[in-house]
Structure 1
Amino acid sequence: MKIQLILISLFLTVSLSAQQRDSRVREYLPPVRIVWQQESGLIRGADHLLLPGNGQSDLANRTICKMTSTDKQHPAILLDFGKELQGGLQIVTGMPASHEPVAIRVRFGESVSEAMCEIDGVNGATNDHAMRDFTIRLPWLGVMEVGNSGFRFVRIDLLDDSAELHLKEVRAISTFRDIPYKGSFRCNDERLNKIWQTGAYTVHLNMQEYLWDGIKRDRLVWVGDLHPEVMTVNTVFGYNEVVPKSLDLIRDITPLPEWMNGISSYSIWWLLIHRDWYYYHGDLVYLKEQKPYMTALLRHLISKVDADGVEKLDGNRFLDWPSNANPMAINAGLQALMVQAMKAGNELCTVLGENALASECQAMMEKMVKAASKVTKPLLKSGVAPDAPGSKQAASLLTLAGLMKPEEANRKYLSVNGAKGFSTFYGYYMLRAMAAAGDYRGAIDVIRQYWGAMIDLGATTFWEDFNMEWLPDASRIDELVPAGKKDIHGDYGAYCYKGFRHSLCHGWASGPTSWLSEYVLGVQVVEPGCRTVRITPHLGDLEWVEGTFPTPYGIITIRHEIGVDGQVKSRIDAPAEVKIIQ
């Protein structure tokens, strides 16, 4: 008996330790409109699919969409769920005369054209990362749940010949973390309000089991891409376990001297994320857990600097995709990132009591700054440029690292051609560099033009990439492409995101959300854990702005407005534990 009890205890211990509970919720959403029908004469009661539904088959069979095929005609329907979602599809069937299962084809799309396309090896459409095009058989009088992707549109084709399909409900299953939006932003420009909210929603969708890069494609922890996302999490949601969970995952699967995701700069971004995460949340216990890996990583980074103070990072040398064709920009950007890494290393090692390594990081930072400022022949002789060689991305990083004067960077690169010549990823750093130059009005205008253009095209989340040159004759993503128009989704894209492979929900594109809160609402964290917060608004051409900002001690509520004297008048309500500097 004693042995049996021990075995039972061991079994229960193992079973409980193997359990994982999902912190997400499921919401069921009916489609908001029917975009298109094929063989519409063979479809009756399609409008019933727009009803709320309850997920239950029944014998009444009253609110049914009936699709009937012949041996030559096969009806199909395209549904719009109104906004980008992460999840799948619930299909509730009725009771046609035949009890045989019925074959259908399901196609998910982030755009209308993606849901209508074929996977042909040419247009970029794939089933990589998540199945978005597949066939299934539906039961008679039953419920079936399928799919796990990012989508807004779903096309359903009846495949069987001479068959009848009864659809009582076709509902999207939206899976997400049910968390409050603690941060907020409102101003007298509704375009900016919508952009802020769209960036927040984009990241919210990517907060799944881990913090993903995209919900259709790249459902992965790309740690460099996470930095803009983490800044949005800090701004909108405050602390959330998805961030440390993701940072720990990439740490644990990347033993040194390997680079995270195979990219040297991404290991640097891991370090910079930890610096920012600590400043916003002040979690010293969590920071101490990173000490062994963090200190070893810093020593590894230091080993990749030559005697002259020039970085010699190996692995994949990468900033963002549009920079790939400009090795001089990559060299300049990596030198700037290394300077930032050494600065962060000094700060974090000081907090962790690693004073010797902190001093080593400080000395290396100073050495690298001097190396960058002395270089006159970039690339060939030294491998680093003190100037940004035709790159807004490099100019932004050089500015933020203190290697280029912000005003010079803005005049020569950042403000040139307005909202052209950068990526959704590095757009965040460009905006920050423009703020460093005092060009808040210019940055706000770029946000309106660039991110606003995606919304004008029907976007409800921000995209993996976008280029203003795509706009002429471009169709919206929520309509069939009209004759004479370009397919904004299928006809554009480059590198790993050509055509329909292009993700239309990518968290790295959320930069305006955190930027507007940090620079227009004016909230900047000065001491770890938000113990001290500086609030310095820059309204540009706005008349007023208001919002909230989450801290570990509660919410800061803020309103700024331009008075009759032209000066900004502010009202700030903060938790007692938070010191406000104005």
Structure 2
Amino acid sequence: MTLRLIVVFTLAVAILGTAPAGPWDAFNLAPESRTVYPRAIYGFSGTAGDVHGLVSGGSLTLPSNTSFITLDFGYEIGGLVSLNFDAVSSTSSIALAFTESPEFIRPYASDDSSYPSANTTYDGVLDITGPLPTGYWTQPAERLRGGYRYLTISSTSNSPVTISNVSCAISFMPHVENMRNYSGYFYTLDPDYTDQDFLTKADMTGTVPLNTGRQVPFVSSPGWLNNATLGIAGPIIVDGAKRDRAVWPGDMGIAVPTQFVSTNDLIPTRNALSTMFAGQNPETGALPESGPPLSQQGSDTYHAWTLIGTHNYFLYSGDLAWMQNTWRNYTKAVQYLENKVDGTGLLNVTGLRDWGRLWQGGHNSEANAIFYKVLINSAELAVYLNDSLLATSYATNASALKTAFNDAFWSTEEGMYRDNLTSPLYPQDANSLAVLFNLTASAEQASSISTGLTRYWGEFGSIAPELPDTVAPFIGGFELQAHFASGNDVRAMDLLHREWGYMLYTPLSVQSTLLEGYTSNGSLYYRSYDGYNYDPSYTSHSHGWSTGPTSALTFYVLGLTVTSPQGRTWSVAPHISGLQSAEGGFETPLGWYGVEWTLTAKDFHLTLDTPAGSSGIIILPVSGTVFVNAVRTITIVGIVAPDSTH
């Protein structure tokens, strides 16, 4: 059947900083106020009076050291607790215990954030010892709890204490007055999932004040401190709400595109990148693996992710002054990687630290895929910085690396890339990134990889062979994009349903933000044998690196991307993905970009809003006769539809 393809252009009229209102607002979990209150009572023991008083404006008495109550804030929050002590004696005392997962609700310990311990009680509780004050009390700033949903208040003496007015002052996004004021949105109905609103539900809490990092060296057990300085300026983007509360450039490969399409809040990104360049080795050009206070060294891949993050920041913001000021450090960092290319034509990895995977080092395909993206991005940046010689050099080196990569790693028998020159392993990370970064030599090769990656799928997502028994949503986010990029949209939606559907709805988690990772059977023992000491309470439930679908749905299902700084040029290439309609958009300093498309038996109808002065290309997903209706003068570089007439 031949469809009519109707393309309508309108003038972008959305107010900068505010996405249009609509049914998607129901899934915006950002609070209306920076002070939030518990929504429900999760459990209690040995209390006196109405246990629901603490959620209905009343009070509650804890009469003895067997008394406690657990409050449920309804979703992931983070900040400083305040409450009123209405009646106390000279020997009254209480303790506060925090947890993201309901699995670790207990009056004697929080979940772990300082350090992983197999007994899951390293952090302990926040003891509030007597004599207690009468009246208003606030948690000490250094004992900030960055991420939790459940708060357990227990009496630690046999003297009664009456409390009321329990609240939390939100600490994340400290520079934003209205946290609900998202500048971007995505909306669709998913006919193939039990919750049709599933694809619209995504959130993250990754921007924090400067002096709220996890203290290093780690405090002794029991205890935690979140008062370390995280960088050169704040606010700053970190990996997780509860922990590690530090800048990790690899995480930013997912988290920064999420920021762009949802809030366009790129100040924390700039501060994080500036922090990484401030830590650069002035002799070698090496960048740290993480920001302070961890300031870990020795990662070639995270060094490269800082460079990719630099390109992303400039693409989204167009901040030329910052880019010019950073260019010397940037090129020195690229040279650091280029110096590791040996006679094979490949990067020889000597900085072995990575996202958690095993078997990093030597001529590793994941690291070389990331390095290729660095070279491609660097050639593009050099053009904007009017450095034609470097642009040519980077492009030439990228072309040579692509040839060497395919010659060295491609297995015709497996239809995938191997982990290194001799490995029988065909990793999730390298294969996903190779498709996403266009290292494949043909569309058939990309599709073969997409098919091959499904061999790792389990009930709850894609299990990374390079970190056995582990679902790693960070890498899963790149795999999701790789399926879209290779034209396997239905497969992408299947993975999205399995992996992110599990994270968002499992009762083990907070059902509002996303897990750092989990095991193949869905348990919280993420990375237990690889640094987390078999401590399931240490796993983060609010990790920006797990938000891959947030940008993927905008970039692929809507099909809306920017192709030059600030979106002066753009591309619209919708992926229907089994859906009947989708809409959404984002802003840049130039203005609002919005797409709305619907598919019926007769028509594919697309409406596009873009700022005046911008131009772009439209690639339509179906064939037919194209009708264009523009309400203003526009510049279209091209409209592409298979087997279509215009």
Range into which the TM-score falls when normalised by the shorter chain: 0.7 to 0.9
Q: How does 1:176-575 map to 2 (within 5 A)?
A: 176-177=172-173, 178=176, 179=179, 180-189=181-190, 191=195, 193-198=197-202, 200-203=203-206, 209-256=235-282, 257=284, 258-261=286-289, 262=297, 263-318=299-354, 320-321=355-356, 323-325=357-359, 331-375=364-408, 384-385=420-421, 389-404=425-440, 405-414=445-454, 417=457, 419-422=461-464, 423-458=472-507, 459-470=511-522, 488-489=523-524, 493-497=528-532, 498-565=535-602, 567-575=603-611
CA shift digits 1:332-380 (9 cap, x unpaired): 11111111111112111222122222222222222222222222799xx
- 1:34: how far off? 1.1
Question: Residue type matched to 1:397 in 2?
Answer: L
2:223 is aligned to none
SS in 1 for 2:76: strand
Question: Residue type matched to 1:141 in 2?
Answer: T
1:65 is aligned to 60
Whether 2:87 is the aligned partner of 1:95: answer yes
Q: State the alpha-carbon separation in 2 of the partners of residues 491 and 301 from structure 1.
A: 31
What's the TM-score, normalizing by structure 1? Answer: 0.81
1:58 is aligned to none
User: Given the superposition, is the C-alpha separation of residues 399 and 387 from structure 1 closer, same or farther in structure 2, using an over 3 Å criterion?
Assistant: farther
1:483 is aligned to none
User: Given the superposition, is the C-alpha separation of residues 412 and 316 from structure 1 closer, same or farther in structure 2, using an over 3 Å criterion?
Assistant: same
Contact 1:48 1:64 in 2 (8 A): yes
Q: State the alpha-carbon separation in 1 of the partners of residues 271 and 612 from structure 2.
A: 30
Question: Residue type matched to 1:362 in 2?
Answer: A
Question: Residue type matched to 1:407 in 2?
Answer: S
Contact 1:123 1:490 in 2 (8 A): no
User: Given the superposition, is the C-alpha separation of residues 206 and 441 from structure 1 closer, same or farther in structure 2, using an over 3 Å criterion?
Assistant: farther
Question: Residue type matched to 2:365 in 1?
Answer: A
Q: State the alpha-carbon separation in 1 of the partners of residues 531 and 562 from structure 2.
A: 36
Q: State the alpha-carbon separation in 2 of the partners of residues 115 and 148 from structure 1.
A: 18
Question: Residue type matched to 2:558 in 1?
Answer: L
Q: State the alpha-carbon separation in 1 of the partners of residues 424 and 435 from structure 2.
A: 10
2:36 is aligned to 29
Q: State the alpha-carbon separation in 2 of the partners of residues 462 and 580 from structure 1.
A: 34
The answer to which structure has the higher helix fraction is 1
Q: Aligned Cα RMSD in Å? A: 2.8
Contact 1:247 1:270 in 2 (8 A): yes
User: Given the superposition, is the C-alpha separation of residues 415 and 347 from structure 1 closer, same or farther in structure 2, using an over 3 Å criterion?
Assistant: farther
- 1:408: how far off? 1.7
Q: State the alpha-carbon separation in 1 of the partners of residues 568 and 585 from structure 2.
A: 16
Question: Whose relative contact order is higher, 1 or 2, with alpha carbons under 8 Å and at least 6 apart?
Answer: 2
Aligned residues: 512
1:82 to 74, 87, 97: 74
- 1:225: how far off? 1.1
- 1:277: how far off? 1.8
SS in 1 for 2:87: coil
User: Given the superposition, is the C-alpha separation of residues 268 and 363 from structure 1 closer, same or farther in structure 2, using an over 3 Å criterion?
Assistant: same
Contact 1:92 1:169 in 2 (8 A): yes
SS in 2 for 1:350: helix
Question: Residue type matched to 1:462 in 2?
Answer: L
What's the TM-score, normalizing by structure 2? Answer: 0.74
Q: State the alpha-carbon separation in 1 of the partners of residues 263 and 482 from structure 2.
A: 25
Question: Residue type matched to 2:152 in 1?
Answer: R
1:153 is aligned to 150
- 1:141: how far off? 2.2
User: Given the superposition, is the C-alpha separation of residues 27 and 414 from structure 1 closer, same or farther in structure 2, using an over 3 Å criterion?
Assistant: same
User: Given the superposition, is the C-alpha separation of residues 251 and 373 from structure 1 closer, same or farther in structure 2, using an over 3 Å criterion?
Assistant: same
- 1:559: how far off? 1.1
CA shift digits 1:47-101 (9 cap, x unpaired): 110035xxxxxxxxxx3211111xxx521111111000121211111134x3x26
User: Given the superposition, is the C-alpha separation of residues 491 and 363 from structure 1 closer, same or farther in structure 2, using an over 3 Å criterion?
Assistant: closer
Contact 1:187 1:193 in 2 (8 A): yes
SS in 2 for 1:469: coil
SS in 1 for 2:473: coil
Q: State the alpha-carbon separation in 2 of the partners of residues 396 and 490 from structure 1.
A: 24
SS in 2 for 1:444: helix
Q: Percent identity?
A: 22
Q: State the alpha-carbon separation in 2 of the partners of residues 559 and 539 from structure 1.
A: 12
Question: Residue type matched to 2:544 in 1?
Answer: G
1:142 is aligned to 135
Q: State the alpha-carbon separation in 2 of the partners of residues 152 and 538 from structure 1.
A: 36
Question: Residue type matched to 1:324 in 2?
Answer: L
CA shift digits 1:536-572 (9 cap, x unpaired): 111211111111221222222321111222x421112
Contact 2:208 2:235 in 1 (8 A): no
- 1:467: how far off? 4.0
User: Given the superposition, is the C-alpha separation of residues 125 and 230 from structure 1 closer, same or farther in structure 2, using an over 3 Å criterion?
Assistant: farther
Extract unaligned runs of 5+ from structure 2. 1-30, 211-233, 290-296, 412-417, 465-471, 619-646
1:108 to 75, 98, 115: 98
Contact 2:204 2:544 in 1 (8 A): no
1:122 to 103, 109, 118: 118
User: Given the superposition, is the C-alpha separation of residues 35 and 338 from structure 1 closer, same or farther in structure 2, using an over 3 Å criterion?
Assistant: same
- 1:491: how far off? 9.0
Q: State the alpha-carbon separation in 2 of the partners of residues 267 and 491 from structure 1.
A: 24
- 1:289: how far off? 1.4
Q: State the alpha-carbon separation in 1 of the partners of residues 288 and 135 from structure 2.
A: 46
- 1:426: how far off? 1.0
User: Given the superposition, is the C-alpha separation of residues 192 and 534 from structure 1 closer, same or farther in structure 2, using an over 3 Å criterion?
Assistant: farther
- 1:317: how far off? 4.3
Contact 2:207 2:237 in 1 (8 A): no
Quick check: 440-449 or 393-402, which moved more? Answer: 393-402
Q: State the alpha-carbon separation in 1 of the partners of residues 95 and 526 from structure 2.
A: 24
